[in-house]
Structure 1
Amino acid sequence: MSYTSFREPDAGPPPARPGLLRRLARNKLGMAASATVVVMVVAAAAVYLTDASAEPAPSNAANALTETSPSAAQTESPSAATSASASASPSSAATPSAAATQKIPKAGWVALNQAAWKAQVDAYKALKVDPAPASVGNLPEFRADCQYSHRLPDDPIVAPGLPGASHMHSFVGNKAVDAKTAAEDLTKFTATSCKPVQDHSAYWVPTLYDNATGKPVETSGFRVYYRSLMKNSTGQLPMPNGLRMITGDAKKKKPTPRGTTGQFYCAFYGPGDLDGIARSTNGNWPICGGNATLHFMMQFPDCWDGKHLDSPNHKDHVAYGAGNACPPSHPVKIPAITFDIQYPAKGTPAGYYLASDKEGKSASSMHGDAFVMWDVDTMNKRTKNCVLQRRTCDNYGYQK
């Protein structure tokens, strides 16, 4: 199936990537290729695929912890605790004794374990590239397809160790995540709602609510891309375990009328309007026509300082590249994470609101968190085969 209409939605961060979402839409052209169960609703963004391929077993060599003591005082100031409680909790099977073993995670500037990182880079450089089938595309990316896991008013990046101190978040990926989750916990409790299972990471966004009913609208598809945004992959390195990042601004509360940056959009096959055939009464939310549903896409930085796994604002240790290169302050080229999120909703006159902006009921506070933890061998192999070699991969390797 091909796309017959596309206009780039104004959904993305940084100005350095003006053509990114158009590239992402083109990327979807090859996504229906394997013997799969396909759920695809696309215009600028894609969807959720469940691949029928056999999953490789996780490697025993993975997950040397990369987190060490903070290199500066803990300067993060979490928000005041609320009385909100989770309406869904992490799987009990995934957290057999988590409460008894978890420690308060570090905050502020979190220094990299340089020895563990050097071991990963050395293994990456020594790794041989697997020959790619002739049919493989040239989009430098691999991915994880995730399903909704649980909902909690927690944020182990912004408010570590403080249950209930956040607005409500919807989590995908690692099923054991709560406010007290530290990097080592992601390696101990590895049950995941993502494929491949070698991705132990946690990803989360503010919960979306139906404004008419007050009920949550959880994601029906959550694809996490790891890709190159540059025209070459010279110097490309894998993602370090324990890296955490935030994109977007939870405090932004500006209207999101038709055509503005940072709005939800309608994804569809064929002709249609990404801004919807109509808008909610307050103008902030599209109402989709045909078979289209609400989507949101957000992109994380692709350059890293090589020294810290986190920073006080959860952004200063990473940066967006420009001109096919990383800035001197952030010289390490890492795969760029992109969230491609699908919601089982078409839009209504009453519209929606995010947990991060219940009063304003705009989409401008939409943001995403990524707490990275992969089987090291899998991360290295995917980065080398797919991103460095600039070949298209799915959840399990080369997309055939």
Structure 2
Amino acid sequence: MMKWLSVALALAAPSHAYIRFGCATLSVQRLDPVVEPGNIPSAHLHQIVGGNAFNATMSGDIGNKATCTTCSFSEDLSNYWTAVMYFKHRNGSYKRVPQYPNALLGTLTGGMTIYYLQDDFSSNGNTKITAFKPGFRMTVGSPTTTSGSNPGLRYTCLQDIMTRGSETNDFPKTACPAGIMAIHHFPACWDGKNLDSPNHQDHMYNTVKGMFQNAGACPSTHPVRMPQLAYETMWNTSQFNDKSMWPTDGSQPFVWSFDDSKGYGTHGDYMFGWKGDALQRAMDSTSLTSNNLKTQSVAEANKCAIKNTVSEPIDGWLEKLPGGM
């Protein structure tokens, strides 16, 4: 196992209770094969990591369709994506906030940190964890949400790259020295039958308590315990900390790419694409460092990419958000 990955795993999981790894940015464009399949472009901009099978329409076993992945585990050809963060200048123009990798994940290009927990940070638990199945997909959160009631959807104002805790359900209201971390915890209770549902959420049940605490017990309607999936995205807002660019009333200046300035509408999408039984082997393992998952170098992860299906300005100072949101 490569040094950068083994260091990250050792520091992150002293009890070997989960897998944690980085995925570099695969693409930033307006596509959403879960919520808006076939739409080119989708309504708002997303940042996507994972396998190179990502497209406007995706079906079947994604793990057999992708040929490379931006993730450190080469058998993980899944796709993970969220909205994109922008800074809104007091003059009304927008600029995309760059992403940067977690300190433990080497020199990955942007991207996210991905977690698959068996129980929590201190125990593997005693419940069988059933891996997701080919064709499985789900979302958490919604761009239309107007309250921060889901404890799994949170923000951390980073004082430095290692800051953790002090989570809020909306965008931090003060300038954050090392940026803003957006956190997405997905539900982990499955109905045992459906790989998807009309709203991409009803086949799952959310017992998340946030802050990587033990999730609650699964109900009889959704009895199958699946891995607790979580994303962490590090947004480097430091270049925008000059208060002369902030709104004149001093309010926080960041928005999601669907034009949400509160942050309550943060959401994430997931499409399973692990090869074969790789994820199930990892979830059955009691030792994180002996789960036999195949790894690749940072250079290999960074090299995996796709051509954009949607061509439009997303960088530099923009008069409006991509898609006119």
The question of a shared fold, defined as TM-score above 0.5 by the shorter chain, is answered with: yes
8 Å CA contact 1:262, 1:363 repeated in 2: no
Residue 335 of structure 1: CA displacement?
A: 0.6
8 Å CA contact 2:192, 2:224 repeated in 1: yes
Within 2, Cα distance between the matches of 1:285 and 1:174?
35
Within 2, Cα distance between the matches of 1:261 and 1:202?
20
User: CA-to-partner distance for each residue in 1:47-95, whole Å, 9 max, x for gaps?
Assistant: xxx5589xxxxxxxxxxxxxxxxxxxxxxxxxxxxxxxxxxxxxxxxxx
Within 2, Cα distance between the matches of 1:210 and 1:51?
35
The match for 1:239 among 132, 142, 149 is: 132
Q: Which consecutive residues of structure 1, in runs of 5 or more, have no partner in the other structure?
A: 1-32, 37-49, 54-132, 277-281
Residue 369 of structure 1: CA displacement?
A: 0.4
Q: Supply the AA of the counterpart residue of 1:238.
A: A
TM-score (norm 1): 0.56
SS across alignment from 2:277: helix
Higher relative contact order (CA closer than 8 Å, sequence separation 6+): 2
Within 2, Cα distance between the matches of 1:308 and 1:343?
34
Match of 1:226? 116
User: CA-to-partner distance for each residue in 1:13-35, whole Å, 9 max, x for gaps?
Assistant: xxxxxxxxxxxxxxxxxxxx983
User: CA-to-partner distance for each residue in 1:146-174, whole Å, 9 max, x for gaps?
Assistant: 11111221211111112113211111112
Alpha-carbon distance change, 186 to 139 in structure 1, aligned in 2, over 3 angstroms: closer
Alpha-carbon distance change, 229 to 283 in structure 1, aligned in 2, over 3 angstroms: closer
Within 1, Cα distance between the matches of 2:128 and 2:163?
40
Q: Supply the AA of the counterpart residue of 1:303.
A: C
Rg (Cα) greater in structure: 1
TM-score (norm 2): 0.68
SS across alignment from 2:99: coil
Match of 2:21? 144
Match of 1:35? 3
Are residue 176 (structure 1) and residue 69 (structure 2) matched?
Answer: no
Match of 1:188? 65
Within 2, Cα distance between the matches of 1:271 and 1:342?
11
Within 2, Cα distance between the matches of 1:374 and 1:150?
19
Residue 183 of structure 1: CA displacement?
A: 3.2
Match of 2:40? 163
Match of 2:271? 371
Alpha-carbon distance change, 159 to 328 in structure 1, aligned in 2, over 3 angstroms: same
8 Å CA contact 2:138, 2:196 repeated in 1: yes
Are residue 318 (structure 1) and residue 286 (structure 2) matched?
Answer: no
Residue 137 of structure 1: CA displacement?
A: 2.9
Kindly report which structure 2 residues correspond to 1:1-400, keeping only aligned pairs within 5 A, or say none.
35-36=3-4, 50=5, 137-212=14-89, 213-221=93-101, 222-229=112-119, 232-253=125-146, 264-268=155-159, 274=166, 285-289=173-177, 292-321=178-207, 325-346=217-238, 348=241, 349=243, 350=246, 351-356=253-258, 358=259, 360-385=260-285, 389=286, 391-393=287-289
Alpha-carbon distance change, 395 to 155 in structure 1, aligned in 2, over 3 angstroms: farther
Alpha-carbon distance change, 147 to 51 in structure 1, aligned in 2, over 3 angstroms: farther
8 Å CA contact 2:282, 2:288 repeated in 1: no
User: CA-to-partner distance for each residue in 1:317-367, whole Å, 9 max, x for gaps?
Assistant: 0113488532111111111101111122235343221112x2x52211111
Alpha-carbon distance change, 372 to 273 in structure 1, aligned in 2, over 3 angstroms: closer
Within 2, Cα distance between the matches of 1:293 and 1:284?
10
8 Å CA contact 1:142, 1:397 repeated in 2: no
Q: Which consecutive residues of structure 2, in runs of 5 or more, have no partner in the other structure?
A: 102-111, 209-214, 247-252, 295-325
SS across alignment from 1:383: helix
Alpha-carbon distance change, 255 to 286 in structure 1, aligned in 2, over 3 angstroms: farther
Alpha-carbon distance change, 254 to 315 in structure 1, aligned in 2, over 3 angstroms: closer
8 Å CA contact 1:137, 1:392 repeated in 2: no
What is the percent sequence identity of the aligned residues? 24
Within 2, Cα distance between the matches of 1:162 and 1:271?
38
8 Å CA contact 2:48, 2:80 repeated in 1: yes
Residue 233 of structure 1: CA displacement?
A: 3.0
Residue 375 of structure 1: CA displacement?
A: 1.2
Residue 197 of structure 1: CA displacement?
A: 1.2
